[in-house]
Structure 1
Amino acid sequence: MISYNKRRFLIVDDFSDFRASVKGMLSQMAAQHIDMAANGEEAISLCREQQYDIILHDYNLGEGKNGQQVLEELHHAGLISPQCIFVMVTAESSQAMVMAALEFEPDAYLTKPFTRASLQQRLDRLVERKVALQPILAPLTKQQYGAVLQACEQIIASQPRYAPLCQRYKADALKTLGLHEDLEAQLQSLLADRPMPWALNMLANHWLEIGNLEQAETLLEQGISQFPMLPALFDALSQVKLAKGELLKAQVFLEQAVKISPNNSQRQAQLGKLARANHDPDRAVRAYRQAVNLGRHSQFRDPEAHLNLAGSLQDQAGDAAPSPKAMLEIRQTLGDVSKGWRHDPGLTARADLVQAKSLVKSGKQVEADELVRNASRKLGKMDTFFTAAAALEVASQLRELGQPEQADTLLGTCAEMYGDDPKIMAGIAEQTTNPAILQAGEQAQAQNREGIRLYQQQQYPAALDSFRAAQALQPRNISFALNTAQSLLRLLLTEPTDELREECLACLDQLRSMPSSDHRHERYRKLCERVESL
């Protein structure tokens, strides 16, 4: 018999009578440590102060965060351990709600009303499972993935009924450890035995990441025929089509994913991005509007959705001025950016430029010019530079609004920071023919390529010389600075000197303007940690 007297519970529901009812049921099960919250913010606050063993969380809490958004934030902030049991509770049964809740993988889903006996029966099974998996969950909490792999093998051998769960933990650990060949072999072996949705999706995404697009596409098409209600498969197939340059097909598959599970702000934003690229402003407006609404109380609230909603409303109007209704929505949407991210001069400058474009179309040139001046002042105060995509968009807006010199200055910085990426340079070339911008990095890129070649041959001092030369030519280039810092760290590990350490720290300091959303930011963070630990 499962003992609950030492386990700590959290009940989250906006109705006090229901909270009291569930607390009574738990008390009859001998539970003694029971906390309660009426809304998502209270629940998150309590989880910051206390580690819970079992959370019973209502999905629909009225205003504010819903259960899905609370679970998102608990995972994102590291406030919920793998040992915790999270049960989503709801009286609703719509497909959109159920799919949204299940996509974030609570341990169980419980429909109101329920009895004490049914609650205890469900919790007994969940606790029994967590106890059996404890040899995996304990090292997983400490991010000891090698130990996770060992524990998975042991439990698969000793308790076969938990083998499917262990296989998934094993796959996640292999992926985290970068053991890609072992991961691929495991997933293929599992799928040869029987179709498993998570394994199918993980293998397809693995093939997508390494460029095996045809294999990924075939596998996903087979998976969709077997599991037609799994939105993640349509998401992945959309990404494959996008990687192949088939944007219209990518949009079609993502629309199917949205149809199955519409309450995902990130999916809606991705659909809006594809629709905008496909010159489908009506679909883009609907998707971005959903992304903005769904994101209001979400961990994934994103100012890009607001900016793109305003831009899509402008696209919808074509060369004409937006309608008064659209102008009001644009103003309110951009106002949310200026208020919600008021401490970010780059974002508020972008909001000003989008609003200025609307005013120009409406014949309000004087007001537009003032907003452009405001944006220019804010751009000069930025500590962190734009992503490449945002920089290209802002440069285009500045040129359209009569600021060609400032546009070229922005493109020059973009070329220096991201110029080792041919796609980004192609985007810059669409906006300017200035050779000082387009050709400035050629020598630096040649030095960087030589540095990579030497590093791969383990000729570390010579590689460092090449990386130093590349960085000297373009100090703000992210890749050049990271490669230089990594080479310095490599030498520091064998020949530690204060001079090398100071040079490495100075090199990393050059990267302080890198946006946190850049895919290389994690590499930068880890390099900083390793150097500072020496």
Structure 2
Amino acid sequence: MRELHPLKIAIVEDNATARTNLRSHLLSLQNFDIASYSNGKELRNGLRVTDFDAIFIDYHLGQNKNGVEWIQSLRDTKLLKPSTGLIFITSDSMPNTIGQILDMYPDLIIIKPYTIRNLLSSFKHYMKVRQQTKPVLEYINKASFELALDYIDEKLDNGIEARFRSDFIKLKGRILLQAQQYEKAADLYSKVLNKSQNVMWAHWGLIKSEFFIGKWNHCQDMLDRLIEQSLTKDKAYEWLASVELGKKNYEKAEALLDKIKESELSIQATRLKTMCYKMQGKADAAIKLLERKIQGNLSIRERMVDYTMELARYHLHLADQVLKRHQKQDEVNEAKKLIGRASRNILDRHAEMQKDYMLALAHLLEDDSQKAHKIMLANEQLYRVEDANIVTKVDAVKVWFGLGEKGKANELLESCDEVLMSQINHIDSIVSNELITSTEQSLGIEKNRAMSVNEQGMSYFQKNQQSKALQCFHRAYTMFPGVPAFALNLLQSLYECGQYEYKGVTADIIINELQNLALNDKNQHRFNMLADALSHQAKAQ
């Protein structure tokens, strides 16, 4: 059964001949509405006027960012509909490449060289699945996840053709992850893997689910097993490093990332490694890594800008740390030089906003509050800071705080909390959390912020939103250690969620800590009840 209107398809391929051939092959199948682009920038412009139903995108796009980087960017800026089908094409079967593609949850991966028969057969199946799941796709575009899940469950319960069953289950898992229903997602992926250990999308779905549930020790066990599979080992190292960094085991995280060739490090993995260096005080290593990544990407303008801005931000961080005025000015000058270099190649509104906030921070570090204030006021008129990523928001927090506008700074930090709660990318989650925490510590506001996050956790707890409460209580506990109320709340939340561990913090660790803290009568009574309840819960399991 054909759709009422022709399917709108985008082809993104830097090779003109390959682009034309792919278009011809698809048109031989059906009269699709096809637009062709040579790179992600052209696709981005096309998405501003057309909602595509499916995108064929090559992983390697010549002297441009790769397909995965562009899809991630388009998702971050909300230009890509959740229902848009993703078909990745690649001639590169290297572990890091396949791992990055799998992380995008593609509908299809087509390996070059492909035969016309295989291409058309795979896409025919995709179109049939799309027709079967059309109501689901409409629901997820509106973020009506429960309606989407109800529809899928009804189809699965009433029986669908065997050839579509796996597609429905895979889509259900993706929706559960989007809806942040990680416990249900973990259960779904576990059942798939119980039937077959060869389903790679189920492995990554389960790892992602358990990562965000907070069962990091179990997550590590699964990743250790996947290291043996050459197809996924680089991605497994990246995940393991994320876990170790989250546990503040920076040396271990660095060692794991060292196992990935530097040329194969994605921009996200590079950020992760830079943070490992930063948290260990290895400034020279961080700077040299970013300088090498810049040099290695001079021909890829968008990626060069990303790495240049990362290096500029690192110099601003160093300027904020040193006490001697001449050293501070040297770091600021280096940062401004890099920002100027990047700005000549910026064509993206979000990158432009990032540049302006970094310049404001640089002026503030030079004690030129007038210039910093002027930039911030102009940005309030030009940009919607709520649309900025966490890194840019944190820059704005530092500037507003430095200008004495603590109310605005706190508003932005609260919006960062909301973004952090909704993060569904493991590296973004880890890097953002470390960035926010270190900023709060440098500004001396970590206690007040921990109290605020704890109160938010209480609100979620009272609404029976236990997974969100657990996330907040853990943040409060790690942001400002040694507060009995924070530890007790985290312990209570672990009990309510039926978990022993959350992000490396176990119930035993919290119990031992509380035994060494001076508790008032009310807290002592609560602790005794919780310790007893957890003991019974552990025996029952």
TM-score per shorter chain, which class? Answer: 0.5 to 0.7
Q: Which of 349, 373, 377 is equivalent to 2:360?
A: 349
* SS of match in other structure, 1:127: helix
Determine the C-alpha separation between the residues in 1 that align with 2:139 and 2:263.
33
Letter in 1 for 2:313: N
Q: Which residue of 2 aligns with 1:167?
A: 169
Q: CA deviation at 1:251?
A: 2.3
Alignment of 1:28-47 (within 5 A): 28-29=28-29, 31=31, 33-47=33-47
* SS of match in other structure, 1:276: helix
Q: Does 1:224 align with 2:230?
A: no
Q: Which residue of 2 aligns with 1:276?
A: 278
CA contact (8 A) 1:73 1:299 kept: no
CA contact (8 A) 2:369 2:403 kept: no
Q: CA deviation at 1:147?
A: 3.1
CA contact (8 A) 2:25 2:116 kept: yes
Q: Which residue of 2 aligns with 1:150?
A: 150
How many pairs were matched up? Answer: 424
CA contact (8 A) 2:372 2:399 kept: no
Q: CA deviation at 1:271?
A: 1.6
Determine the C-alpha separation between the residues in 2 that align with 1:177 and 1:209.
12
Q: CA deviation at 1:59?
A: 3.9
* SS of match in other structure, 1:250: helix
Q: Which residue of 2 aligns with 1:491?
A: none
CA contact (8 A) 1:187 1:199 kept: yes
Q: Output one character per residue of 1:233-264: Cα deviation in whole Å (capped at 9) or x when no partner.
A: 333322322332212112223444x4398352
Q: Judging changes above 3 Å, is the alpha-carbon distance between structure 1 residues 37 and 312 closer, same or farther for their aligned structure 2 residues?
A: same
Q: Which of 277, 285, 302 is equivalent to 1:297?
A: 302
Q: Judging changes above 3 Å, is the alpha-carbon distance between structure 1 residues 193 and 457 closer, same or farther for their aligned structure 2 residues?
A: closer
Q: Output one character per residue of 1:474-495: Cα deviation in whole Å (capped at 9) or x when no partner.
A: xxxxxxxxxxxxxxxxxxxxxx
Letter in 2 for 1:50: T
Determine the C-alpha separation between the residues in 2 that align with 1:38 and 1:454.
47
* SS of match in other structure, 1:214: helix
Alignment of 1:501-516 (within 5 A): none
Please give the TM-score of this superposition, normalised by the length of structure 1: 0.59
Determine the C-alpha separation between the residues in 2 that align with 1:454 and 1:90.
44
Quick check: 2-11 or 100-109, which moved more? 2-11
Q: Judging changes above 3 Å, is the alpha-carbon distance between structure 1 residues 163 and 287 closer, same or farther for their aligned structure 2 residues?
A: farther
Determine the C-alpha separation between the residues in 2 that align with 1:212 and 1:192.
19
Letter in 1 for 2:143: Q
Identity %: 20
* SS of match in other structure, 1:348: helix
Q: Which residue of 2 aligns with 1:243?
A: 246
Q: CA deviation at 1:28?
A: 4.0
Q: Which residue of 2 aligns with 1:264?
A: 266
Determine the C-alpha separation between the residues in 2 that align with 1:39 and 1:447.
42
Q: Which of 181, 184, 190 is equivalent to 1:182?
A: 184
CA contact (8 A) 1:266 1:291 kept: no
Determine the C-alpha separation between the residues in 2 that align with 1:17 and 1:300.
29
Q: Does 1:456 align with 2:458?
A: no
* SS of match in other structure, 1:158: coil
Determine the C-alpha separation between the residues in 2 that align with 1:41 and 1:223.
35
* SS of match in other structure, 1:245: coil
Q: Judging changes above 3 Å, is the alpha-carbon distance between structure 1 residues 141 and 234 closer, same or farther for their aligned structure 2 residues?
A: same
Determine the C-alpha separation between the residues in 2 that align with 1:237 and 1:116.
39
Letter in 1 for 2:160: S
Q: CA deviation at 1:142?
A: 3.6
CA contact (8 A) 2:90 2:111 kept: yes
Letter in 1 for 2:315: A
Determine the C-alpha separation between the residues in 1 that align with 2:60 and 2:194.
40
Determine the C-alpha separation between the residues in 1 that align with 2:147 and 2:460.
35
Q: Which residue of 1 aligns with 2:313?
A: 308
Determine the C-alpha separation between the residues in 1 that align with 2:304 and 2:155.
35
Q: CA deviation at 1:184?
A: 4.1
Determine the C-alpha separation between the residues in 2 that align with 1:208 and 1:393.
30
Q: CA deviation at 1:353?
A: 5.9
Letter in 2 for 1:44: R
Letter in 2 for 1:169: L
Quick check: 372-381 or 14-23, which moved more? 372-381
CA contact (8 A) 1:88 1:108 kept: yes
Gaps of 5+ in 1: 357-368, 396-405, 459-534
Determine the C-alpha separation between the residues in 2 that align with 1:260 and 1:132.
43
CA contact (8 A) 2:88 2:108 kept: yes
Determine the C-alpha separation between the residues in 2 that align with 1:47 and 1:307.
31
CA contact (8 A) 1:213 1:244 kept: no
Give me the CA root mean square deviation.
5.4
Q: CA deviation at 1:232?
A: 4.1
Q: CA deviation at 1:272?
A: 0.9
Alignment of 1:5-404 (within 5 A): 6-29=6-29, 31=31, 33-81=33-81, 84-90=84-90, 97=97, 99-112=99-112, 116-134=116-134, 136-156=136-156, 157-177=159-179, 179-195=181-197, 196-225=199-228, 229-256=232-259, 258-259=260-261, 262=264, 264-289=266-291, 293=297, 296-297=301-302, 301=306, 305-310=310-315, 330-336=335-341, 340=346, 346-352=357-363, 374-375=371-372, 378=375, 383=380, 390=395
Q: CA deviation at 1:14?
A: 3.9
CA contact (8 A) 2:253 2:276 kept: yes
Letter in 2 for 1:108: L
Please give the TM-score of this superposition, normalised by the length of structure 2: 0.59
CA contact (8 A) 1:342 1:348 kept: no
* SS of match in other structure, 1:143: coil
Q: Output one character per residue of 1:131-167: Cα deviation in whole Å (capped at 9) or x when no partner.
A: 4444543433343322332343345442344444333
Q: Judging changes above 3 Å, is the alpha-carbon distance between structure 1 residues 448 and 232 closer, same or farther for their aligned structure 2 residues?
A: closer
Q: Output one character per residue of 1:483-516: Cα deviation in whole Å (capped at 9) or x when no partner.
A: xxxxxxxxxxxxxxxxxxxxxxxxxxxxxxxxxx
CA contact (8 A) 1:334 1:351 kept: no
Q: Judging changes above 3 Å, is the alpha-carbon distance between structure 1 residues 40 and 219 closer, same or farther for their aligned structure 2 residues?
A: closer
Q: Output one character per residue of 1:256-278: Cα deviation in whole Å (capped at 9) or x when no partner.
A: 4x439835212211221121112
Q: Output one character per residue of 1:218-244: Cα deviation in whole Å (capped at 9) or x when no partner.
A: 343344345772444333322322332
The structure with more radius of gyration: 1
Q: Judging changes above 3 Å, is the alpha-carbon distance between structure 1 residues 411 and 84 closer, same or farther for their aligned structure 2 residues?
A: closer
Q: Output one character per residue of 1:74-112: Cα deviation in whole Å (capped at 9) or x when no partner.
A: 444555556654433455566655554454344334455
Q: CA deviation at 1:382?
A: 7.2
